[in-house]
Structures are given as structure tokens and as C-alpha cells.
Amino acid sequence: MKLIMGVLAVAFLAGCATSPVPSGQADPVPSSRLFAHQKQAGSDASLIVTRDKGFIGGGCNTTISIDGQKAAEIGTGETARFFVTAGEHIISASSCGSGLKEREATLKAGSTKKFRISIDSSMSMDLSPTMQ
């Protein structure tokens, strides 16, 4: 009986963990949840933010801000592209009960940087650079 309960607990936790989604395979954030940094100028850089798929935190969208300006609300398995001027920027992510995560990004004109939002089983959120 203990073995069965242990196997069920592991299976349940594994099913709840978020898993990375390559930005090219994620669903785009609907335009109704995109608020800023959507118009591209000639020499702008791109920020792509993708949220993992999974059950944990799935009931809440993650709010993305760039330099203190609300840019989008991203749901699980979704991605958004933002256009920013070359230089230093602060990207922040916050979600229901997960606190605020901030990261600095320095971008060159015409470059692209990607970030991933993950939430673990203890509802701890992370915003980290990614190649996906």
C-alpha cells in the first residue's frame, strides 16, 4: 500500500511540474493581453518571453513588465514578442502568489533575447534566459 501511494505521489508531482516550450511551438499571446512594446522601429531589438506549460500556476496569467511598464499577461504555454530600443532593459514577471522576478537584458540593435517563465511545485516562479 505504501508503495502504491508513493508511486501515485511521484506521478502526481511529475504531472504538475511545468515543462519548457520552445517559443516557436508556443501559442501566441492574444492581442487583447498585449499592452506595450508591440510596434517595431527600424533598429529595435526583440525580447521573446515564453511561459512553460503545466498545471502549477495555470489559473493565473503572468504579468510581464518592461522597464516598469506593463507589457503583457501571459498564460501557460504562450509566448510574446516585444520590440525595445537597443540598450539595457529590466524585464519583470509577477504572478498570483509567486512574487516578482526581475532580470536585466542588454540588447544590441537588431538582436533577439529569449526568456522563459517557469513555476515549480512550491509556486516559486523564475524568469530566466533561454535559447529556446
11-47: pLDDT as tens digits = 444 445 578 888 888 999 999 999 999 999 888 999 9
What is the predicted pLDDT for the residue at 9? 44
How far is residue 45's CA from residue 15's CA, in Å, rounded to a whole number? Answer: 36
Helix (H, G, I), strand (E, B) or coil at 74: strand
Percent of the chain with pLDDT over 90: 60
What is the predicted pLDDT for the residue at 14? 45
Query: Residue 73: what are its φ and ψ, rounded to 5°?
Result: -120, 120
Residue 4: band (very low, low, confident or very high) from pLDDT cuts 50, 70, 90:
low
What is the predicted pLDDT for the residue at 6? 44
For 53, other C-beta atoms within 10 Å of its C-beta total 17
All structural domains of the chain, each given as residue ranges with its CATH number in brackets, are: 17-130 (2.60.40)
State how far Cα 51 lies from the chain centre: 3
Spatial neighbors of 25 by CB under 8 A, at least 6 apart, are none
How far is residue 11's CA from residue 55's CA, in Å, rounded to a whole number? Answer: 13
Place of cell 509556486: 123
First to last CA, the chain: 42
Alpha helices in the chain (DSSP H): 2-16
Name the amino acid, one letter, at 12.
Answer: F
* β-strand partners of 102: 92
Helix (H, G, I), strand (E, B) or coil at 101: strand
pLDDT over threshold 90, residue 83: yes
Residue 89: band (very low, low, confident or very high) from pLDDT cuts 50, 70, 90:
very high
